[in-house]
Structures are given as structure tokens and as C-alpha cells.
Structure 1
Amino acid sequence: MVQVPQSPSDLAAILNNPVDLDFHLPDPEDEEIPELDFQQQVDNAWLVCDRFDLQTEIWRGRILRVVRDREKKGGDGRGTGFLNWLKEREISKSQAYSLIQLANSADTLLEEGKLDPDAIRSFSKRAFIETSKASPEIQQLVTEAANKGDRITRREVRQLADEWTAMNSDLLPDEVKEMAASGSLPSRYLSPLVKEMEKLPDSHLKVLRGEVAGNPDVDTVKQATSDARNLSKYLDAAAQVQAISETTLDVEMALEEALRVGCLNTAADMVKQAAQLEQTIAKFYMTWKRLGSLADRLYVDTGASTPNLRSLLTCLERLAGEVIEVNLDDTGERTIRLKVLTDAE
């Protein structure tokens, strides 16, 4: 473990012997270097920087944690000292806590014995962060691979996560799991399907499971993923539309009919647009009321001495009045007129 310098002389000794990152990068204009060798040399240099950066970020997180905890114990209770410390070093609060979280994740994996200290070098920075956010099962798989000396990038983390999801999700039929285990059906296509299926009630899973089990190939899985996504959008949007909730419409039956005739995407988009329209109308009404109130106030405060302000009010009458007019093009040939009526009227 690197020892923290305890005195200025110790610090000077370290600075006199800095870490040497003097790479011998390939000449980009040397056509005699094969493309494969060029990419390999660049990739190796990048990997060293990535690993060095990761370990630096972890230690910075530990340093920030120490400063924060010291402030908690002896500060003013509001964290002012810690915030000032960050300000002096031009570190944002969100950045600081992101680094502390990274350090916490690293220490947790090390303390629980899941990760060998030397294995951290096997991770890219992004891969480690992704691992720290993953479920314990995924962390176990990734750290086992890292402890073996495998290079861990975000691709490896996601691949392991997809494989675990495909083999352990109760939402996928056994036929699909068997094909995923044999490698005939790539697991990367199954993880998005599971994520979308998790959003749906049980009543809508049977059809999707049946389709995938009956024809377990990539195209069917992609289509099922799209259908599941549209189902989720439909259900979420339908719950927000007052025009639907205030009637006796059987939303579930309408959904089943859309599935049967193959127009689920259109139905889902229509309901989503209806929800957005209602929200837009509500926002429009509140803005229109605000504009009218401001126009009335300005009318009271002005008179013959403010002809230009009166002209401004006249210009805006077409928007603040009971009938609203808006031109849809620059020529003024297409105009939309809206009349606002409320229950009070």
C-alpha cells in the first residue's frame, strides 16, 4: 500500500520520483505499421491510463470521505468546512460524493472478500463503476472473472449481467433459457426483453411468453421486446388520460384487441398522444389565465399617457381574449381559433 507522506520532506521525495507514464506511442504516419499492431499499441496505452485513473479516483474518494467525516465530528454540523474545502479545490459537491461512492463500493468489495486488491487493475474505470452499481449476483460474477486476471471492461460487465439475467429470470420460458445456455440465442437480446416484461402485469405476460417459446429466435425476441415496451407505454398512458378514466371503457379488452389485430404500436402511441394533449391543454389554460390577469392589471395601470403600452395590450387581445387566434404559417392564410369555455360559464 502506498504510504501517505507525513512531512514536506517525504512529499518532496515522492515528487522527485513521479510515476512515469512515458509511453512509446506508434507514429500515426508510419504506413509500415500494420493496422492491427497500431490499434493494439494504442489500446494497451489507453488501458494503462484507464487503470491508473481508476485507482486515483478511488483514493480521491477515500480522501474526500476522510475530510467529510472529520468535518462531521468537529465541524459546525452543516458541513460548511467540507464545502469550503471542495470550493478551494474547485470540486463540485456532486463530483465529490460520486468519488466517495466509488471509494465506498471499492472498499465494500474488498472487505467482503469478493475482490482481490490486485484485481482492481483488471478493471477499466467505467467497468468498475458499472460493477459497483450492479446487483450482488452480478458483482460476484464480475469479481470472479477479475480475480482470474481477465480484463474487465463495460462490455464484459454487461455481457455477464445479460447471461445471468437470461439464465435466472422466471419470466423467460425454459426453451429460451436452454438456447441461451447453448449459445444459439445470444443473451444480450434477452436482457432488454426481461426488463420490459418486468413492467407488465401477469395477465399480459402469457401471450409474450408463448410467442417467444413457440419460436425462440432473435427476430421473435426483438418483436416481443418491442411489444412489451408498447404494452407498458399503453398502460402507463391510459392511466393518465382523464378521457379514459372517466368512462366505463375496458382498457384491458381494448389492449387485447389491439394485440390481436396487430396495431398495438398505433394504439399505444395514440393513448400517449392523448395524455400529452390533456397535459398541454391544462398548461395552456393556466398560461392563458395568467396572461389575462396581467393584461387586466396593466390596463388599470395605464392611460392616455402610455399609448404604446395600450397598443401592446391591443396586440395581445387575440391571445388574452375569450377567442384565441394564432397563425399557423407566416402568410397568415392558415389561422387556428380556439374559444375557451369553462364550467363556471
Structure 2
Amino acid sequence: MATPLDHSLDRVRSRGLTSLNERSREIFRQIVDSYLAYGEAVGSRQVSKLLPTPLSPASVRNVMQDLEEIGLIYAPHTSAGRLPTELGLRFFVDAMLELGDVGPGEREQIEAQVKAAAYEQPLEGVLGDAMSLLSGLTRGAGVVVTMKEDARLKHIEFVRLEPERALAVLVADDGSIENRILHIPPLLPPSALVEAANFLNARIRGRTLAEVRREIEASQTAAERELGELTARLVDAGLASWADSAGSGPQLIVRGQANLLQDLTAIEDLERIRLLFADLETKKDVIDLLSRADSGEGVRIFIGSENKLFSLSGSSMIAAPFHDEHQRIVGVLGVIGPTRLNYARIVPMVDYTSKVVSRMLQNR
């Protein structure tokens, strides 16, 4: 569904592109570049000094007036310089952005971080480490959303804690561990804990919890005959507990929020970051926004109020999906920060990180 910003962009393209000659484009570029670098409004006199072809401040002011009329720039205060509007930033990103490349040192850092974490940690830890590195490299907050799927199982154990309570421990193939407290039948002998664990361990290796549970439920009578009624109830309680906690919904990881507190130049900046922190606490909205980036290939850029999540904080997000060995999109990672993110540098960095994570998943 088209948004008001989409319609505004259509107007800019129909009115703006035809009227933006090379001089207008260069002046607009200087205003955007100054904002992205310093976060400050720039005046006609300063722009005239930055242009590759000499132009008087008066001539620059005339062009700036035209840019303001089509909605690409605005004056934050009377007699102040000009800043790009969110519409202007979107126009710049879509039509004028010249992407850089990820440097060799940064490539090595990203690859080494993901590779080292993949040897030692389950997927959630790998993604968390990758986002910590990405947030440090970009000075934004690293975010990732991925689906938590049923893990392939490796081992189950029951440990009695009290006469009617036991600790159930489930170990997955990826190294993750789930612990749950269970209520166990009264008068259950100690041997029943061992028997229940042996019964499950003979059936679980390399299979998901859902697969094991379906099999046992289909042969409940046979299980009770093999185990005895009390021990079978313990097996059922353990499977039910894990099933209740192993939901396959989207999981959100956020790293590096503190980076957003750097380089604040005004009270308004501090308030904006406070609002962004509040946005990041609204996990469902962040997940929904990230999930919009899994609808296609490549990097997506969300700027300011074109998304309701950032309508108050005026923030941006650059995000890209990553894939499993079947080329299915299994998650989205990205960077959130102020609208003056260094798009030319961060877009290729997010894209590269998503490709490294995809390769890791495909080789696990």
C-alpha cells in the first residue's frame, strides 16, 4: 500500500528530477553531505565555498529556495542554514547515493568474528557477537531478528530436587541448553528418573522435540507398558514443559545501544536518543520493521517517520536478510541510528555481514 512518503517521492521525481540540473544536484549533495558528516545546517556562503565550480552565495540561495519548494531541504530556524528533509534523505539515498566498499580490515574482522563464534556458540551467540562488532564498526545499534526453530536434540537428563520436583535438562545439537523445573508424581522412585532419561535418549538424537513427542503420543500405551505409569507420566511432563517453552516465534537481539550516545551535539539529540531507546524496548514493533526487510533480496533502508516506529525519534535503519543452506530467508540483521547515518559506508557493511552470516549457516 502506498504511503504519504511514496506519493511525496512521486511528486519530487515528477517535479524535481526534471528541474534538478547538475548545479542543483551538487548544491543538494553538499547540504546532505554536511548534514551526514556534522549534523548541522549549512548556509549558502559555506556551500559556495564547497562547490567544485565557483558560484556566488546569492546564486546558491536561489537554488536552495528551489530545493526547499520541492520539499528536499528546510530551514530549522529563521535565517539559519538548510538541512535535508526526510523526503530529501530518501531522494538522496534512492537517486544519488554513491556506495563505498567494505575495507579489507573490516572484512577480516567480520569474517573472523563470525567464524570464531560459530565454533564456540549456538546461533544466537553467533548473531549477538556479529551485531556487537557491526555496532562498533558503524557506531549504531546492531539489531537482528531470527526465527527460533525446534532444535535437533542430543541429550536429556532428569535430576531430583525435592520429593515432588525435578530439574529437566535438555541439550541440543547446537550446544544450547534448556532447564525446566517439573512437578513429578509423588512416590516416584529414583530409578524412574534414570529410566525416563534412558527411554528418551534412545529416541531423541538428531530429532526435534516435536518429532519425539508425536511418536510417543502415538504409542502412549506401549510407552506406559515399557516404563510403567509413573515413569511415563514423567516423560510426558518433560516433553510438555519443553514444548511450552520452545516456541518458534521471532527472536530479537540488540547490541551497542551505548554507541548512539556518542557525538551528541544538542539537548534535542539527547531527547531523540531517549525516544529511540524507548523504540528499541518495543520489541514487537522492531521485529515487525525488521521483518519488512525479508520481503526481497538485498539491503533495505528505512528513514525516519516513513515508518511509525521512528516517527518520534527520527531514526533510520539499514537492514538485509540472511539465508540458510536451502536459500530460505531465516532472519534479518541491520543497524539502527540517527537519520544522519553514513549510508554510503554502512549499506555495504550490512550487506557484507549478511552474506558472511549466510555462508556460516550454509556451512554449519
Quickly name the TM-score band, shorter chain normalised. Answer: under 0.3
**Structure 1 length normalisation: TM-score?**
0.19
Instruction: Tell me which structure has the larger Cα radius of gyration.
Output: 1
Q: Taking CA–CA contacts closer than 8 Å with sequence separation of 6 or more, which of the two structures ends up with the larger relative contact order?
A: 2
Q: TM-score, with normalisation over the residues of structure 2?
A: 0.18
